[in-house]
Amino acid sequence: MRYFVTGEQQRKALLNALVLMFLGYIVLLWLSNGLMYFHRMDLTPESVIAYYLGSEETFTQPRSYQGMLEVSHFHLFSMGMLVLTLTHLMLMTEFSYRLKIWISGLTYLSAIADEAGGWLVRFVHPHFAYFKIAAFLLLELSLATLLIVVVVSLVRARIRLRSGDSPGNVGPLP
């Protein structure tokens, strides 16, 4: 993170490339998150309710407390680390302070809401399926926005670096 704060991203093409490769990996994670959701359910409340409460028609059991707890335990940590990393990268971009606050807040809120949505459907009321769907869509949208903002910023930095317009004018890359 130091290289963003000190402006070293303008002089460290390799580090910039490594962060871009990391973001490519996160794009694959983002895609697999969506694919996993749509493998289990779709954007209809009925499918969400059937997934969490079970279905006699498809002979599926309701999600168990222990199973949901194990998934939540892993998701809370991994999503927390993902969101922390992406928002931290985004904070070091040239985009507006207001945009950074909104994207960060929405991403954290949607990650928590997405995790809570299944619990609410399973143990509070089936109508929370609408909440679960909205939270999933907001999470995917906010993660995509974070990825785009950071990638655009890094690509701009690489272009400036190659053109020699970077702070400190280190000159174009060979």
* Number of domains into which the chain is organized: 1
Q: Tell whether 81 is covered by a domain.
A: yes
Nearest to 120 by CA among 105, 108, 110, 132: 132
Phi, psi of 4, deg, nearest 5? -75, -45
> Quick check: is 104 in a domain?
yes
Helices (H), 63-128: 65-91, 97-123
Has residue 169 been placed in a domain?
Answer: no
> Can you tell me the distance from the alpha carbon of 170 to that of 37, in angstroms, rounded to the nearest whole number?
46
Q: Is residue 115 part of a domain?
A: yes
Per the prediction, the chain carries an average pLDDT of 87
pLDDT at position 173 over 60: no
Please indicate, yes or no, if residue 54 is contained in any of the structural domains.
yes
- For residues 72 and 157, is the Cβ–Cβ distance under 8 A? no
- 143 lies in which domain range? 2-163
Which residues have C-beta within 8 Å of that of residue 90, sequence separation ≥ 6?
A: 100, 103, 104, 146, 149, 150, 153
Calculated CA dihedral for residues 135, 137, 143, 144, nearest 10 degrees: -170
Q: pLDDT tens, 75-117?
A: 999 999 999 999 999 988 888 899 899 999 999 999 999 999 9
pLDDT on residue 11: 58
pTM (2 d.p.): 0.81
CA separation for the pair 83, 111 (Å, rounded): 8
Residue 171 forms part of a structural domain: no
CB 86 within 8 A of CB 143: yes
Q: Does a structural domain hold residue 174?
A: no
CB neighbours of residue 155 within 10 Å: 12
Does residue 18 sit within a domain?
Answer: yes
